Amino acid sequence: MSEPYSQELRSDTSEIVIPVISALTIVAGLLAGVASSVRIQDSWHFWVIALLAFGGGLFSWRLVKGERARAGATFFVSLYLFLITLLLTTEWQPGSPIPYFFGVLIIISSMIYSPRAGFYTWGISIILSVIGVTIRVGGFDFLLLLRQLAAPTTINFLVALAAYLTALEWEYAVESISGLHIRVQQRRDELFAAKKELDLINAKQRFTNQQLDAARQEAIKERDLRTRFMNNVSHELRTPLNGIVNFAHILAQGGQGPVNDGQADYLDRIEKSGWHLLAVLNDLLDMAQIEAGEFKLHMELVNLHNICEDAMRGIRGLILNKPVELVRDYPDEWPFVNVDKMRLKQALINLLGNAEKYTEAGYIALRVKPEGETVRIIVEDSGIGIAPEDHEKIFREFHQVNEQDARRRIGTGLGLPITRHLVEKHGGAISVSSEVGRGTAFIITLPAAANSPSPNGQAKPNMTAVAKEAEANVPAQPAAVE
Ligand code: ADP
């Protein structure tokens, strides 16, 4: 993988080295030609060298440029082997530096061809030196050759060795850099790919967000429409219903003349049904407000006792004809709570009303347990109970455990969802604990107000006037049964 890269760099080096060496040779050849003699038979080889350096250099350079770097380098080195040999055959004499010229060629060949090429050039240069000198002296003289060529051959070998080691080191460095470079490129490509993917995801997310926004706007529009519709309908229904309930009551009381027992009974039923319808309407309206997020509380610091008693009063009339005891399990010290008293009372009436609906005999208890920073309100009955699998479902809108049974008892399935919302809006929680056939307990946990009365019954200095007044009205009550 890195070899082509170092080869690429070698070809870049060739592009510089070939013209430089060629130019130097041309200049040297021309100068030597001019300087040596005016007679052409004495200086022809210099002109030939200059000419070949020009033509051969140009040819090698074109090969390198034409993506044939190795062929160019081979041709160039071969050409110079020939030129130096030509110089040997024409100019050599004992002590001549010409054999050392091979040293330069050795360095160039290991630079532009391969690290090992220096040794090949060196080997060939020995043969060519022997041939060149032999031609020059006109016969093979072993001793002369040994004396004259031993030193340049040895030095040229050392040059080849040094060039080899340097070129190797250079190649190693290039390979490492090339590896790093490739890794960087891969990393960059990965980053680009990741960025592209991210862009795509972002675009998708933008599109999804737009769709979500559109859907949300649509839902808000629909919700507003529904709320408006519910408000209008309940207003339109409530006015005549109030009329029906009130007029039935007046008629039953003999307000428009005497009525017989049968008529009074019917009027009473009309009134009861009217009240029930009004309760259902109120539930629907509350639910619509909750869904529209328009449900508001009017918080104030109140004593819990008053709220519990108001709720219990509401339930008392309903159990008159049943063998059901109403149990109050109240604390000695009543806690204060920061609540919307109408809404908390509504929640308790919902639970007590359910207890009454689903309890034919036994008891209905309201237990209040202050526990430090919280207060627990438990509405407990000994009625039909709720199966474990329904404990969560009953808090969902319109869910009735046994629909036929529930219909017989009349209900909308909205009481508990509204109660849960009311409690949670107060920062509290509601849970259920029940066993089929043994009864049910709904447990409300509310935060107690920070400035409740102190244990000795004295209001803390920062109590509000409302709290003080409420505290004054609190009777300390033990568990009582009606
Ligand atoms: P509903 O108007 O039907 O009473 P709720 O939301 O108040 O609607 O109650 C949902 C269902 O939970 C009821 O239909 C009933 O099956 C069950 N439920 C609620 N309270 C009690 C209870 N005290 N005892 C037994 N079942 C109960």
Residue of 356, 357, 432, 435 with the most ligand 1 atoms within 8 Å of its CB, for mutation? 357
What pLDDT score does 459 carry? 38
Cα(451)–Cα(27) distance, rounded to whole angstroms? 108
Cα(446)–Cα(419) distance, rounded to whole angstroms? 13
CA of residue 381 to ligand 1 center, whole Å? 12
Q: Is the CB of 412 under 6 A from ligand 1?
A: yes
Q: Are 234 and 287 in contact (CB under 8 A)?
A: no
Pair of tokens at residue 202: 């972002």
Cα(234)–Cα(241) distance, rounded to whole angstroms? 10
The alpha carbon dihedral of 170, 175, 178, 180 has a sign of: negative
- The architecture that CATH gives domain 296-467 is 2-Layer Sandwich (3.30)
* Largest Cα–Cα separation, the chain: 165
Q: Is the CB of 353 under 6 A from ligand 1?
A: no
Q: Is the CB of 381 under 6 A from ligand 1?
A: yes
What pLDDT score does 468 carry? 38
CA of residue 350 to ligand 1 center, whole Å? 9
Tens of pLDDT, residue by residue over 421-449, are 999 999 999 999 999 999 999 999 999 88
3-class state of residue 414 by DSSP: coil
Pair of tokens at residue 147: 């004396």
* Domain boundaries of the chain, sorted by first residue: 3-188, 296-467
Q: Which atom of ligand 1 is nearest to the CA of 442?
A: 23
pTM over 0.85: no
Residue 59, phi then psi, degrees to nearest 5: -65, -45
Q: How many CA atoms lie within 13 A of 16 on its CB side?
A: 5
For the chain, list residues with pLDDT below 50.
1-2, 406-408, 453-482
Cα(109)–Cα(111) distance, rounded to whole angstroms? 5
CA of residue 254 to ligand 1 center, whole Å? 37
Q: Is the CB of 413 under 6 A from ligand 1?
A: yes
**CA-closest candidate to residue 73, choices 158, 162, 13:** 13
**CA-closest candidate to residue 22, choices 48, 61, 62, 74:** 61
What pLDDT score does 123 carry? 95
Cα(298)–Cα(338) distance, rounded to whole angstroms? 10
Q: Kindly provide the b/e burial profile for residues 249-260, where b requires at least 16 CB atoms within 10 angstroms of the residue's own CB.
A: bebbeeeeeebe
DSSP state of 254: T
Q: Is the CB of 419 under 6 A from ligand 1?
A: no
DSSP state of 257: B
